[in-house]
A and B are shown apart, each in its own frame.
Chain A
Amino acid sequence: EIVMTQSPATLSVSPGERATLSCRASQSIGSDLAWYQQKPGQAPRLLIYAASTRARDIPARISGSGSGTEFTLTITSLQSEDFAVYYCQQYNNWPTWTFGQGTKVEIK
């Protein structure tokens, strides 16, 4: 099983600042990585797939990068709606999908 490790567990950021979230895979997954956003009481929402492709209606301030085992989600100029939990997910080794444990982005 491919283990996905996210860091940090919690990120405290002021509105308008930049947030950088990391995700590491236990083995190379190429670019088969997705990022999801989840707000309290809501379902996950697809943000990024193929490591760097934004999903429909996702603003340009949200971007993804990386390949192999190291990936980054960057949110520039954080807005109020961006405070949430973010999960990375590998889909290189499906049908065994695995998620990271999540990074909570909170207001500083």
Chain B
Amino acid sequence: EVQLVETGGGWIQPGGSLRLSCAASGFTISSNYMTWVRQAPGKGLEWVSVIYSDGTTYYADSVKGRFTVSRHTSQNMLYVQMNSLSAEDTAVYYCARVDSGNEGYMDVWGKGTTVTVSS
């Protein structure tokens, strides 16, 4: 079964750092484009970052310079390192797979992990 499971969320003070993880099963992360998408409380979906199969990464302007996406190929894990966190980063963070044909839609989503940034 194709599945994504995010972990690592929690409460963090403004200015702090947190690393989220996403464990994949049923497919190989390194063969796919993998994204992080977040959803602030009561709000819509916001794309955060992507890592291509060749390792190229892109970020939304709102997180550029603060977030870093990476992966561990042998463990089939995706990560996002989040630094200099602010209240505006409070959200549920989802990892999602871009479709295998790389057309661009997201066909598999994890259940998400919640990040709360507050003093």
Partner-B contacts on A (CB < 8 A): 32, 34, 36, 42-46, 49-50, 55, 87, 89, 91-92, 94-102
Contact = CB atoms under 8 A, between A and B. Distances in A.
Nearest to B50: A95
Contact of A99 (B44, B104, B110, B112): B44
A43 B112 contact: yes
Per DSSP, chain B at the interface is strand
B27 interface: no
Given A87-B44, A87-B45, A98-B47, A43 B111 contact: yes
A89 B45 contact: yes
Given A95-B58, A96-B47, A99-B46, A46 B110 contact: no
Contacts of B11: none
B46 A49 contact: no
B10 to A, nearest CB: 18
B103 A43 contact: no
Nearest to B57: A95
A91 B107 CA distance: 13
